């Protein structure tokens, strides 16, 4: 397993070691002992799966502290462009984003820590996405930021007129108006 840094150091790309032969392939997507040895101390307690058609944008989602979630995202089938946005006040990278292509072919995963909003767009005909969370879903703490916020300026790799977005995600506030209780340098 290899961990690759991104332009925002807290966001990590995880590249598992894949074993292939004439039967197919095998890889370990998560091993707590291995992750801890690599400095990733999250204890994941909830697994989620979503199915999305081509052009679907989900996000940008986060939960307020003390219910904030770190996520480990991977694609079972298809291809997505996965995005994390720094929403930690006073962070030198506040409002900046990292985008990574995750697919069933590359088998990469994205580790998104607490203090970041998360979203993705489906690039293939459909995508099945799994993500582990280190905190349970809490509807009272559930928040979002508008996916097309010009202050953030995410390049979603598709025309936004082609995007399929839920009514809920379409009315999230922009970053400047969002309820955020994360501060840079604070452990959650």
Please check whether residue 155 is in contact with residue 99, taking contact to mean a CB–CB distance below 8 angstroms: yes
- b/e code 79-102 from CB counts within 10 Å (16+ = b): bbbbbbbbbbeebebbbebbbbeb
Strand partners, 71: 112, 133
What whole-number distance in Å separates Cα of residue 81 and Cα of residue 161? 17
Query: Is residue 126 flagged as an active site residue?
Result: no
Q: Of 30, 62, 131, 172, which residue is the catalytic one?
A: 131
Closest CA to 107 of 8, 6, 17: 17
Q: Identify the CA nearest to 112 among candidates 74, 138, 76, 58.
A: 74
**Active-site pick, 61, 108, 118, 172:** 61
The torsion angles phi and psi of 76, rounded to 5 degrees, stand at: -85, -40
* CA 86 vs CA 69, 103, 135: distances in Å: 13, 23, 19
**Is 61 marked active-site?**
yes
Six token digits for residue 109 = 């995963």
Q: What 3-state class would DSSP assign to 20?
A: strand
Pair of tokens at residue 38: 């690599």
- List active site positions: 61, 131
């Amino acid at each position: 397993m290899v961990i690759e840094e991104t332009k925002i150091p807290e966001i990590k790309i995880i590249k598992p070691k894949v074993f292939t032969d004439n039967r197919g392939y095998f890889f370990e997507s998560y091993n707590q002992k291995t992750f801890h040895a690599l400095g990733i101390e999250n204890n994941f307690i909830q697994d989620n799966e979503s199915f999305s058609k081509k052009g679907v944008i989900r996000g940008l989602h986060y939960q307020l502290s003390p219910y904030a979630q770190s996520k480990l995202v991977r694609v079972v089938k298809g291809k997505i462009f996965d995005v994390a946005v720094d929403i930690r006040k006073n962070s030198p990278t506040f409002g900046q984003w990292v985008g990574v292509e995750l697919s069933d072919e590359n088998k990469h995963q994205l580790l998104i820590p607490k203090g970041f909003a998360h979203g993705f767009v489906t690039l293939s005909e459909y995508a099945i996405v799994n993500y582990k969370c280190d905190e349970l879903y809490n509807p009272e703490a559930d928040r979002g930021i508008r996916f097309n916020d010009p202050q953030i300026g995410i390049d979603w790799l598709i025309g936004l007129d082609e995007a399929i977005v839920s009514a809920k995600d379409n009315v999230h506030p922009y970053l400047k108006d969002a309820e955020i209780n994360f501060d840079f340098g604070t452990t959650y």
